[in-house]
Copies of this chain bind each other. A is one copy, B any other.
């Protein structure tokens, strides 16, 4: 991809109206554009990262036997009245009357929709368990949207719902999903911890959160100085670690996922049932599993960025290599750089713009593609390859540089 062709509106200074590091950098590097508070356009580079994060999540879920669907954003009030959530969520759910005086709202979660879908499907014991997920843009009327893409009014979620014949079957699947989630974070280069969450609104509900320690987080966790014991502050604030006696220290963290075991709450409240082996209708056991995809992009930005700009792990980077044509560019040099790009057009971004080397180098650091490859007359037939994360530089042949990127 040629940089002159793709739209990357970098700025010389960080966005002044963005208090968060991820919001500042993602805008300055041309990954996103703020339309209004908490609402962003995803520009070509940002969308590529978002799609690569989604692809990793999708791959892991498919391997775990989940099936992808897509549910609508527009919600009828009647459905949400069944669980009392229309009223309960009215502060954060966008709700209004349409022209025909019907109350409609925008979904920030989809339990009611999928439970309604499943109860109408006339399921038998042969049809379950079922686990279905979607990647869907959610809406939430955030009073303060100051955390960049970590907390938007419009944000992309992977949400997922599983349906089971018994509490035992649900518990097994629920535990398995914890391992799936930890694997997802690992592939994204994030060190996430699973933490038991507070009971919440539902009596029979269990809930776990996945947390990444980071100063940008809005959550607070207690971590034992000595070991790996971690506890949510909502469950009390012990000063001594219950397992080793070490001191517990409070740290900020970002919630990068949450899962809920609702037991038979939805099965009974919304009468979502299946026919068992004896022909009797029984309530289904339901759990839900959320991961904020836009939030993950913001988290990776917060955790890995340095003073020069963004730093993307190769698994989610918009490109593997950023080729820069610098200095006096003759035809032969341009052709070498263009041939390099043409050999991996989906994975190499070629800065072919007519701007100064300093400008190109600054933009490359800001954008944060894993490897920068400099084509200049000074290096002759060779290229200078610098790893963005470490700053390590090697002088390689073009073939060696290509092999390096192909191995990612």
**Chain A contact residues, CB within 8 Å of chain B:** 4-7, 9, 33, 35-36, 39-44, 47, 50, 65, 67-76, 79, 91, 94-96, 98-100, 104, 106, 113, 116-117, 120-122, 126-127, 130, 132, 137, 139, 141, 143, 153-154, 353-354
Contact = CB atoms under 8 A, between A and B. Distances in A.
A4 B124 CA distance: 12
B35 A72 contact: yes
Given A9-B121, A40-B72, 14 more contacts: A6-B67, A35-B71, A35-B75, A35-B76, A42-B70, A47-B69, A50-B70, A73-B139, A74-B154, A94-B96, A94-B98, A95-B96, A100-B143, A126-B353
A126 B44 contact: no
A402 B7 CA distance: 43
A72 B74 CA distance: 15
A194 B374 CA distance: 47
A78 to B, nearest CB: 9
Contacts of A132: 7, 44
A74 B7 contact: no
B42 A69 contact: yes
A336 to B, nearest CB: 23
Name the 4 nearest CB pairs between A and B, nearest first. A96-B96, A42-B70, A9-B121, A41-B71
B67 A7 contact: yes
A155 to B, nearest CB: 10
25 contacts: A4-B126, A4-B127, A5-B67, A6-B67, A7-B67, A7-B130, A33-B117, A35-B71, A35-B72, A35-B75, A35-B113, A36-B74, A36-B76, A41-B70, A41-B113, A41-B117, A44-B69, A47-B69, A73-B73, A73-B139, A73-B154, A94-B98, A94-B104, A99-B143, A126-B353
Contact of A68 (B47, B74, B143): B47
Nearest to A116: B35
A99 B104 contact: no
A68 B43 CA distance: 8
Interface centre among A7, A95, A120, A132 (most CB of B within 10 A): A7
Contacts of A137: 73, 137
Contacts of A44: 67-69, 132
A178 to B, nearest CB: 22
A139 B263 CA distance: 35
A89 B354 CA distance: 43
A31 to B, nearest CB: 11
Contact of A7 (B7, B69, B71, B96): B69
A65 B5 CA distance: 8
